[in-house]
């Protein structure tokens, strides 16, 4: 890596860490909560919006009447899921999370399904959270409007750089804003309810609008209304994304890992539920009107408000209403909401690379993903996640309402399979467990997980039914592609492993070749050539000869003359090459040697000169490299590079040897 | 290369040729004329247009009055230059052309200046010719209008494919259209003059327009008029580009090369001059009005014609007028003009790669450019030329009038230096030549070349003065960049050569190492590892040990156990790695061995398994590759790859061995 690249990397990524410092990066609860729960908590910033705008398709009255029912439905699902996952973290403290639970209890296919779902979901978490964050920030900073997409992508890049620095610093950096967000939202709730109690809670600015149903959906009733309610419920379930993050992240907790994780999970659930219901209730009390297409759905004095009306997010509108006359509060809530949403994406930056690394270790993903970078973070996974999220943000132009249609499917696929797996887990343990106390606890857990499984499965069906054509289909397609890909990779690794395996009784593989036939490739007589000849002679092979390829007869002739003049004690053989190739005559010659004495091994010595700079490499013929690559396909041949270090390479040696330079390590 | 790729290549490029077939690709005069002269001839398709539209800045009357003077000026320069170059091809038959002449007589800096100029110029020849060709074709096929740029780029791609097939087939493929073009233009001239002689020559459609001077240039006089005339003359000199192509291409002629080339040159000059003057004369006789901005400059009935008017090229308008009532003639002229212009770019496809190959041989460009492809053509040079030309076409949106401003500078830089070099050439020869007859011939040549040098230098100054700000400055900048780059490359090659040189008395380089210390890298016990151990044992080194890097203690422990259980007769050494690196511990260990006994050489055996498909490579850890790259920087070390061919690699062997597959050869 050139110096500037390394300096830049050091600035962005920090100094490399020893692997025994991995322990030091474990998180206490007060840091784990913001790191792992920011996703679940932050989703209250967009889940209510999606509930209200979906209901608003049937008009304002419909939205006001039904929003609290939807809210309660979501809260109920949330509590069931939190209770279920508290069983998981105790039973599986290793951090494989849903993937491990499904694999162990339902088999590798179920595990791989969960893995595909989670991978897709992490990408969507980043895309949705960051897009929503930018949208919320725009409420306080209107000049951002119209530039949401590039800003969102820039934020993805920023998060990527932060995460390449490693998990610990991320934790401390994110604690303050997450706590500020809790303080802001819960504070706003308390303040709002207090004002209402004293009869001072004003109406929102958008309360004066009439929210008309979308054309063609006026007077929605019966089945259609039911379908709309279910769709709103699906969208509201976005609040549940991120609950599984803690169960995937158990190993990052301080000890006792499991019970710390379970406590954090409960804390998170309580806070999320509180915030969600506060927001829904306050939205109804302040009469906020929120629509998917405000320009045509919101009317005032018999006219639509038109495209000039800029609809703030619900939290933005709430802050302006609740904190009317107290602008510091408004700005505070808007800013911390924007920040927490961006940081929520960080949950995925913690989860995705760890899961990818586990999958790589299990042979489902390329091994490079099982490699920690300089800062003990899984660099490759982080980069893939960031790339995929940036792609989605670009494609969907950073619009939350569109992105959210793809979301949630993944989460509930993994919830369902994970909870089903847990039922099997308890069944298996109950078969052997004799202690009645432990049995009672297990049976209690099994009931909780069964409720969780049924609930998650039902929600999954609802989500699929109401969102498939709106985008969830794409998410399913991506999962299928990932599933097939990971199966293929796994099959490839298995095949190679089987092919390379040596049976204990196999003695063929250790068979010694009878003789070594050494061949030194010569193009010119210069220092690298002479060194290669000297080294080859030092190995005392059975046969030693130099070969040159006759591409230009004049050069070959003068080479032969110099060879004789210098009295080099190795015979020089000239290979003809009518097609001016270099590789083929050498390969053919090597094969003819092998044909002559099949039990010999041929050692081809290639003199190489080593240059220090990449552009220098471009300037030199790549024929040695090409020849090496080609000879590897020929059985019975070894290829030995004899390097000659040119002066320009000396600096590189030093640079490469500097401790903790840009090298890559295997994960643990 | 995968099979489909090879089939595609075979279709586009043809079968590979033996190098002794190089002689067969020599060109007879009747084929050499279209191949090398198409550039010079085809420029009559845009040179008159540029003369008329430049003069038109000062109005229609000004253009009509002065066009023939400019035409005669260009003809005069053309004749002088042709006469001068006839001296060159006799004196230097080796095809280095201007580059060789300048290098030999004025030194390498002058040579390099010429080379930079010519390289830039070849690129512009492609860009200008193809853009003009598309523009001319649009006169006959109006549906092409508005898509000029993509069509031009597609044509560059097509030409590239044709040239990768080799020079001979290009010759035969291009002969017919070039002769058709000559027939078409000269035939149009004869027909036009005949009609005029009988008083039947009609006026052109654009004759009814009034050509107003551009706003602010009305009534141009004195210095401004002079400047405009010079600028028109500069543009007209575009007709001279390509004259030097023949002198660069002498080796491609059949014997006697020089006199065949000189004859072809004279033929080409005569034909070009005839066509140019015919077109200018006919344009004036038919009253054609041609302007840079037809929409505002051409008026009718007191109004500008507006953007709806589509101005055909001058040849297009002439054909429609001269062949009025004979539409076959119109279509024929338009089509052959379009085709010849595209083919003219072929001159550059012949010249550029040859020049680049000569420069590469002289160490000014990377050696890869001195490599002939399967079909004996210099593939890399062809691809670079095509890329650069496509870039210019894209940047300038295929507009001839803009591209032409960058053109011509390069040609006249090389004309001037080449002719100056020729004066020195004759001076040198006159110093030793005694035969009065030969001396008289040399003195005659010297006079011709002196006139050529003064003339070219003057034109160069005129071009620079009138076009620098319009674009010639960019061309000069590109030349400077190329010059500096080529100097740097040359310095690099020289430095490496000096460093690698072995003095005849130098015995150090042949010093034999005292012992060989062999090290086999082990990560797992599988077939490649066992083979590497067996091969290493077969070489009977002084010391032999296996080493493994302890990245994951569990794996290392089980490796050690299996090692003992299998009773492998080589000691296994474990290297610790606190940073989970693989490369550094190995490099450190190797260095410590060398430190212990500096006269030993260390041979590192790396077991590798070889996979057949590129995507399979991605799936396997690149650590072996990285380690090999790193060890090359360590002195006193050899790196031996011991390949194990997996089943998937077997097909590759066969594919690579098929005769004449996609391999690359060195040029001659």
**Domain residues for A575?**
513-657
Considering only CB atoms, which chain A residues are within 8 Å of B632? 608, 610, 641, 643, 645
How far is residue B169's CA from residue B562's CA, in Å, rounded to a whole number?
65
Residue B1 resides in a domain: no
Distance from CA of A496 to the nearest CA of B (A): 8
Band (A656; pLDDT cuts 50, 70, 90): low
More confident position, A3 or A575: A575
More confident position, B668 or A140: A140
Query: Which is nearest to B650 in space by CA: B593, B594, B598, B611?
Result: B611
Q: Average pLDDT for residues B45-52, to the nearest whole number?
A: 91
Same domain, B474 and B569: no
Considering only CB atoms, which chain A residues are within 8 Å of B535? 513, 601, 638
Residue of A nearest to B635 (CA): A645
Residue B303 β-bridge partners: B300
Same domain, B284 and B433: yes
Domain containing A642 — which CATH number?
3.40.50.620
Query: What was the pLDDT predicted at A27?
Result: 81
Residue B8 in this model has a pLDDT that exceeds 50: no
- Greatest mean pLDDT among A243-252, A635-644, B8-17, B88-97 lies in A635-644
Residue A513 at interface with chain B, using a CB cutoff of 8 Å? yes
Residue B370 in this model has a pLDDT that exceeds 80: no
Two tokens, residue A406: 């793809």
Query: What was the pLDDT predicted at B312?
Result: 86
Asked if A526 lies within 8 A of B501 by C-beta distance, the reply is: yes
Query: What was the pLDDT predicted at B218?
Result: 54
Same domain, B417 and B557: no
Query: What was the pLDDT predicted at B377?
Result: 56
Residue A400 resides in a domain: no
Residue of B nearest to A370 (CA): B621
Residues for chain B: how many in total? 668
Query: What was the pLDDT predicted at B3?
Result: 47
Q: How many interface pairs between A and B have CB atoms less than 8 angstroms apart?
A: 228
Same domain, B536 and B452: no
Same domain, A281 and A429: yes
Distance from CA of B17 to the nearest CA of A (A): 7
- Greatest mean pLDDT among A563-567, B250-254, B423-427 lies in B423-427
Residue of B nearest to A374 (CA): B579
More confident position, A158 or A666: A158
Query: Position of tokens 């991120």?
Result: A242
Query: What was the pLDDT predicted at B481?
Result: 95
Band (A358; pLDDT cuts 50, 70, 90): confident
Residue A153 resides in a domain: no
A-interface mutation test, from B568, B632, B660, B667, most A Cβ less than 10 A away: B632
Residue A158 in this model has a pLDDT that exceeds 80: yes
Band (A166; pLDDT cuts 50, 70, 90): low
Query: Which is nearest to A490 in space by CA: A359, A355, A380?
Result: A359
More confident position, A123 or A339: A123
Query: What was the pLDDT predicted at A498?
Result: 86
Of A438, A467, A495, the one marking the end of a domain is: A495
Residue B662 in this model has a pLDDT that exceeds 50: no
Asked if B534 lies within 8 A of A510 by C-beta distance, the reply is: yes
Two tokens, residue A467: 């969102």
Residue B659 in this model has a pLDDT that exceeds 60: no
Same domain, A517 and A491: no
Q: Mean pLDDT over all residues of chain A?
A: 84
Residue A288 in this model has a pLDDT that exceeds 80: yes
Q: Average pLDDT for residues A458-476, to the nearest whole number?
A: 89
Query: What was the pLDDT predicted at A509?
Result: 60
Band (A666; pLDDT cuts 50, 70, 90): very low
Residue B344 resides in a domain: yes
Query: What was the pLDDT predicted at A552?
Result: 80
Residue A505 in this model has a pLDDT that exceeds 70: no
Residue B424 resides in a domain: yes
Query: What was the pLDDT predicted at A172?
Result: 66
Cβ within 8 Å of B, A 528-557: 528, 530-531, 533-535, 537-541, 551-552
Residue B112 in this model has a pLDDT that exceeds 50: yes
Q: Average pLDDT for residues A198-208, to the nearest whole number?
A: 89
Residue A280 in this model has a pLDDT that exceeds 80: yes
Q: Average pLDDT for residues A373-398, to the nearest whole number?
A: 82
Q: Average pLDDT for residues B233-249, to the nearest whole number?
A: 84
Of A495, A530, A561, the one marking the end of a domain is: A495
Band (B164; pLDDT cuts 50, 70, 90): confident
Query: What was the pLDDT predicted at A218?
Result: 54
Residue B634 at interface with chain A, using a CB cutoff of 8 Å? yes
Query: What was the pLDDT predicted at A189?
Result: 94
> Of A54-68, A102-116, A265-279, which gets the smallest average pLDDT?
A54-68
Give the DSSP per-residue string, A343-406. HHHHHHHHHHHHHHHHHHHTTSS-GGGG---TTSS-HHHHHHHHHHHHHHHHHTTT-HHHHTTT
Residue B167 in this model has a pLDDT that exceeds 60: no
Same domain, A481 and A430: yes
Residues for chain A: how many in total? 668
How far is residue B471's CA from residue B404's CA, in Å, rounded to a whole number?
8
Query: What was the pLDDT predicted at A659?
Result: 39
Same domain, A480 and A526: no
Query: What was the pLDDT predicted at A339?
Result: 85
Considering only CB atoms, which chain B residues are within 8 Å of A584? 657, 663
Query: What was the pLDDT predicted at A665?
Result: 41
In sequence order, the 6+-apart residues with CB closer than 8 A to the CB of A152 are A130, A131, A133, A134, A393, A398
> Of A498-512, B143-157, B428-442, which gets the smallest average pLDDT?
A498-512
How much of chain A exceeds pLDDT 90, in percent? Answer: 35
Q: Average pLDDT for residues A270-286, to the nearest whole number?
A: 94
Residue B330 in this model has a pLDDT that exceeds 70: yes
Global confidence as pTM: 0.69
Q: Average pLDDT for residues A126-150, to the nearest whole number?
A: 86
Query: What was the pLDDT predicted at A507?
Result: 60
Residue A78 resides in a domain: yes
Tell me how many domains chain A contains: 2
Same domain, B378 and B276: yes
Residue A619 at interface with chain B, using a CB cutoff of 8 Å? yes
Residue A666 resides in a domain: no
Domain containing B138 — which CATH number?
1.20.1740.10
Asked if B619 lies within 8 A of A660 by C-beta distance, the reply is: no
More confident position, B203 or A97: B203
Q: Average pLDDT for residues A653-662, to the nearest whole number?
A: 46
Asked if A368 lies within 8 A of B622 by C-beta distance, the reply is: yes
How many helices and strands, by DSSP H and E, does chain A display? 25, 8
Same domain, A491 and A524: no
Same domain, A482 and A560: no
Domain containing A455 — which CATH number?
1.20.1740
Of B466, B495, B524, the one marking the end of a domain is: B495
CB atoms within 10 A of CB B550: 17
Q: For residue range B377-432, what is the model confidence (pLDDT) as tens digits?
A: 577 888 899 999 999 999 898 888 889 888 888 889 989 999 999 999 999 999 99
A-interface mutation test, from B363, B364, B490, B500, most A Cβ less than 10 A away: B500
In sequence order, the 6+-apart residues with CB closer than 8 A to the CB of A654 are none
The closest CB to that of B500, out of A492, A504, A609, belongs to A609
Residue A95 in this model has a pLDDT that exceeds 70: no
Query: What was the pLDDT predicted at A285?
Result: 92
Residue A28 in this model has a pLDDT that exceeds 80: yes
Q: Average pLDDT for residues B569-586, to the nearest whole number?
A: 85
Pairing of strands A601-610, B601-610: unpaired
Residue B23 in this model has a pLDDT that exceeds 80: no
Residue A358 resides in a domain: no
CB atoms within 10 A of CB B458: 13
More confident position, B294 or B620: B294
> Of A36-40, A492-496, B247-251, B253-257, which gets the smallest average pLDDT?
B247-251
Residue B149 in this model has a pLDDT that exceeds 70: yes
How far is residue A492's CA from residue B402's CA, in Å, rounded to a whole number?
56
Q: Average pLDDT for residues A295-305, to the nearest whole number?
A: 85
Residue of A nearest to B16 (CA): A579
How far is residue A666's CA from residue B583's CA, in Å, rounded to a whole number?
11
Q: Average pLDDT for residues B528-555, to the nearest whole number?
A: 88
Q: Mean pLDDT over all residues of chain B?
A: 84
Band (B263; pLDDT cuts 50, 70, 90): very high
How far is residue B538's CA from residue A600's CA, in Å, rounded to a whole number?
9
**C-beta separation of B373 from B164 below 8 A:** yes
How much of chain A exceeds pLDDT 70, in percent? Answer: 87
Band (A220; pLDDT cuts 50, 70, 90): low
Same domain, B218 and B135: yes
With vertex at residue A355, the alpha carbon angle to CA A350 and CA A361, rounded to the nearest 5 degrees, is: 135
Q: For residue range B457-470, what is the model confidence (pLDDT) as tens digits?
A: 999 999 998 888 88
How much of chain B exceeds pLDDT 90, in percent? Answer: 35
Residue A664 in this model has a pLDDT that exceeds 50: no
The sheet carrying B303-304 orders its strands as B210-211, B298-300, B303-304
Residue A431 at interface with chain B, using a CB cutoff of 8 Å? no
């Amino acid at each position: 890596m050139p110096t500037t690249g390394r300096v830049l990397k050091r600035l962005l990524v920090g100094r490399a860490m020893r692997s025994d410092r991995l322990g030091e990066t474990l998180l206490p609860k007060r840091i784990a909560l913001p790191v792992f729960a920011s996703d679940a908590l932050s989703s209250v910033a967009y889940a209510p919006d999606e509930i209200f705008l979906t209901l608003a398709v049937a008009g304002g009255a419909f939205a006001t009447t039904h929003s609290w029912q939807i809210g309660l439905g979501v809260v109920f699902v949330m509590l069931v899921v939190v209770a279920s996952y508290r069983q998981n973290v105790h039973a599986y403290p290793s951090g494989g999370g849903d993937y491990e639970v499904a694999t162990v209890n339902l088999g590798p296919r179920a595990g791989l399904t969960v893995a595909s779902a989670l991978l897709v979901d992490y990408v969507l978490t980043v895309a949705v959270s960051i897009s929503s964050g930018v949208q919320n920030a725009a409420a306080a900073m209107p000049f951002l409007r119209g530039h949401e997409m590039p800003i969102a992508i820039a934020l993805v890049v920023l998060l990527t750089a932060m995460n390449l620095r490693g998990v610990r610093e991320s934790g401390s950096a994110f604690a303050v804003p997450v706590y500020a967000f809790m303080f802001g939202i819960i504070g706003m709730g308390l303040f709002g309810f207090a004002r209402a109690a004293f009869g001072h809670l004003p109406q929102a600015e958008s309360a004066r609008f009439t929210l008309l149903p979308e054309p063609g959906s006026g007077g929605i009733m019966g089945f259609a209304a039911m379908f709309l309610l279910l769709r709103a419920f699906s969208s509201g379930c976005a609040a549940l994304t991120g609950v599984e993050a803690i169960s995937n992240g158990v190993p990052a907790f301080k000890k006792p890992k499991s019970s710390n994780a379970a406590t954090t999970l409960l804390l998170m659930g309580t806070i999320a539920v509180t915030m969600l219901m506060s927001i829904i209730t306050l939205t109804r009390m302040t009469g906020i009107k929120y629509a998917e297409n405000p320009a045509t759905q919101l009317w005032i004095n018999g006219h639509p408000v038109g495209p000039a009306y800029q609809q703030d997010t619900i939290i933005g509108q709430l802050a302006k209403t609740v904190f009317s006359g107290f602008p510091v509060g408004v700005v505070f809530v808007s800013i911390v909401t924007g920040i927490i949403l961006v940081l929520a994406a960080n949950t995925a930056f913690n989860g995705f690379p760890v899961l990818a690394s586990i999958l790589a270790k299990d042979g489902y993903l390329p091994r490079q993903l099982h490699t920690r970078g300089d800062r003990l973070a899984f660099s490759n996974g982080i980069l893939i996640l960031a790339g995929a999220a940036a792609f989605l943000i670009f494609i969907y132009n950073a619009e939350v309402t569109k992105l959210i249609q793809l979301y949630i499917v993944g989460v509930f696929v993994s919830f369902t399979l994970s909870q089903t797996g847990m039922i099997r887990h308890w069944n298996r343990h109950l078969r052997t467990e004799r202690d009645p106390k432990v049995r009672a606890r297990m049976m209690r857990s099994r009931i909780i997980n069964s409720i969780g499984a049924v609930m998650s499965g039902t929600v999954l069906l609802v989500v699929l039914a109401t969102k498939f054509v709106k985008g969830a289909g794409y998410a399913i397609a991506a999962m299928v592609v990932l599933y097939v890909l990971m199966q293929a990779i796994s099959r490839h690794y298995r095949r190679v492993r089987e092919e390379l395996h040596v049976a204990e009784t196999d003695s063929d593989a250790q068979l010694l070749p009878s003789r070594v036939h050494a061949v030194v490739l010569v193009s010119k007589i210069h220092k690298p050539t002479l060194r290669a000849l000297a080294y080859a002679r030092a190995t005392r092979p059975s046969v030693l000869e130099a070969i040159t390829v006759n591409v230009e007869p004049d050069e070959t002739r003068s080479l032969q003359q110099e060879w004789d003049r210098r009295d080099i004690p190795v015979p020089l053989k000239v290979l003809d090459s009518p097609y001016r190739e270099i590789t083929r005559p050498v390969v053919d010659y090597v094969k003819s040697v092998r044909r002559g004495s099949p039990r010999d091994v041929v050692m081809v010595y290639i003199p190489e000169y080593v240059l220090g700079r990449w552009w220098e490499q471009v300037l030199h013929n790549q024929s040695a490299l090409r020849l090496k690559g080609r000879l590897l396909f020929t059985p019975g041949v070894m290829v030995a590079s004899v390097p000659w270090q040119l002066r320009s390479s000396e600096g590189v040696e030093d640079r490469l040897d500097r401790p903790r330079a840009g090298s890559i390590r295997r994960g643990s």
